[in-house]
Amino acid sequence: MSTQTMTSQDYVDFAKRFVGAIQTGDTAAVRACYAPGAEIWHNNDGLLQTVDQNMKVLDWFIRTLPDRNYRVVRLEPLPDGFLQQHVLEATLPDGEKWAMDACVVVRMKDGLITRLDEYLDSAKSGALRKFGR
């Protein structure tokens, strides 16, 4: 599906499938959402990741937070993708309940993600470091 033929609803539906795949731990479905050469950027380190690098982090994330839940606060289609604001809720490996505000801005082409910019609450994301990340 090319960018020109994607409607606002197509972007919203894609966003729900993409985040749903992360939430359920379906890494093959997550990887399939990315275009070859897609770039992933996070505000907490300012570095660009490749899809392979991002998938390694996602594998760790899924193992570390098996009961993760994305509580979507806002989901808006953009002319070339979508914006999603959410609260990631989970139980940390030490049993502590944890929540982190986050936002992603996703750009797409030909029905696939070409760039994902993720903004994380650095104070909350820091709590994960003691578990190996």
List, in sequence order, every residue forming a beta bridge with 76; answer none if it has no partner.
Answer: 83
Question: How do beta strands 112-120 and 34-42 pair?
Answer: parallel
> What is the C-alpha to C-alpha distance for residues 91 and 97, in angstroms, rounded to an integer?
5
pLDDT, averaged across the chain: 90
Domain of residue 77, residue span: 3-124
The confidence band for 3, taking pLDDT boundaries of 50, 70 and 90, is very low
CATH number at residue 35: 3.10.450.50
On whether residue 103 sits in a domain, the answer given is yes
| 133, part of any domain | no
| 132 located within any domain | no
Cα Rg of the chain (Å, integer): 14
Nearest to 113 by CA among 59, 54, 48, 32: 32
Say if 131 falls within a structural domain: no
The answer to whether residue 102 is domain-embedded is yes
pTM: 0.88
Distance of CA 37 to the CA centre of its chain: 17
Q: Would residue 21 count as lying in a domain?
A: yes
Determine, yes or no, domain membership for 129. no
What integer is the mean pLDDT of 105-128?
Answer: 87
> Are 70 and 21 a contacting pair, CB within 8 Å?
no
- Domain count within the chain: 1
